[in-house]
Homo-oligomer: A and B are copies of this chain.
Amino acid sequence: MQNLIRIGIVGYGNLGRGVETSIQKNPDLELVGIFTRRAPESVSPCFGDTKVFHMDDLNDFQDKIDVLILCGGSKDDLPKQTPELASKFNTVDSFDTHARIPEFFDAVDAPAKANNKTAMISIGWDPGMFSINRLFGEALLPDGETYTFWGKGLSQGHSDAIRRVEGVKAGVQYTIPSTDAIEKVRSGVRPVLTTKEKHTRECYVVLEDGADAEAVKHAIVTMPDYFADYNTTVNFIDEATLRAEHNTMPHGGFVIRSGNSSDAHNQVIEFSLKLDSNPEFTASVLVAYARATYRLNQMGQFGAKTAFDVAPGLLSSKSPEQLRKEIL
């Protein structure tokens, strides 16, 4: 029996709870504890034997944790947290602001490399599993087009972004894919589709008392990276409606590559997800990549890494021999 891989969780919202839950499903991993900026005794973990510590004590755990899974948000938490922590720990995060990944990569790569740590960034399903499938699509069928559709589903990143707008008390955002557009892509033609033609974004927002609805709406629909390029609708609802009708976090989507291997032959590659819980699935991906991160670090592969740098076999708890025998 090899040693268990020891995991720490930084941040304890939906994603952190998902990671805690996922570790229970992976017998080769061991949860050392949750690290929070809140008072540890105020945090109620999902499992009775999970330990909770204050972030200030994290440095004492450098020899007791193999990989830290960072469960903060991409807008305010990770840009500061990952570069700092990657100098002391191997890390995995779900940084998902696509446009800023190159600068984030550089900010994380230097401290990780300087300290022989491995920092796996932008893990989850998009960026993450969807990115891998976009890469497979264009590598296998260079003469083709790739289409990514999201939803129907609640987007954590976009909901967080709404909630950070001044005057917003609570809110959720759903991304809706166009069925017509998906069918057109699957048929093998290669339609030109703008982002707006592929999806709409629907926001359900509870205002703070006295907030200016028009100002809130404007702040949301013009927000760069998140909403500005989309057809976004903002619906104002009361808190009871939000609790009753918007209390689950489903998501999903499709990555479709339509391409020609020759003039005569079209080929279609499709990857899709149908998720009951977006944060729990993202957490499951983070946990599998924590295993790979530990292994890459053991192999001397230091610095920032992404899903593109991880051979599939490193994600599995099974040995290469077992994988070749059982599922190749």
Contact = CB atoms under 8 A, between A and B. Distances in A.
Interface in A7-39: 18, 21-22, 25-26
Contact of A274 (B131, B261, B267, B309): B267
Interface residues of A, number: 68
Contact of A308 (B139, B261, B268, B324): B324
Contacts of A271: 133, 269-271
A246 interface: no
Interface string A285-326: 100100100000000000000111111110111001101110
A285 B327 contact: no
A87 interface: no
B136 A315 contact: yes
Nearest to A146: B327
A22 B101 contact: no
A86 interface: no
A102 interface: yes
Contacts of A142: 25-26, 317
A277 B262 contact: yes
A107 to B, nearest CB: 13
A275 B267 contact: yes
A327 B98 CA distance: 9
Interface string A137-149: 0111111001000
Contacts of A328: 98, 101, 122, 127, 131, 306-308
Given A21-B261, A25-B261, A26-B142, 4 more contacts: A132-B312, A141-B284, A267-B280, A270-B272
Interface of A: 18, 21-22, 25-26, 98, 101-102, 105, 122, 127, 129, 131-136, 138-143, 146, 186, 188, 261-262, 264-277, 280-281, 283-285, 288, 291, 306-313, 315-317, 320-321, 323-325, 327-328
29 contacts: A18-B262, A22-B261, A101-B325, A127-B328, A129-B269, A131-B327, A134-B327, A135-B315, A139-B291, A140-B288, A140-B315, A142-B317, A188-B274, A188-B276, A261-B276, A264-B277, A265-B277, A266-B276, A267-B277, A267-B280, A267-B284, A268-B274, A269-B272, A269-B273, A270-B271, A306-B324, A307-B328, A308-B313, A309-B311
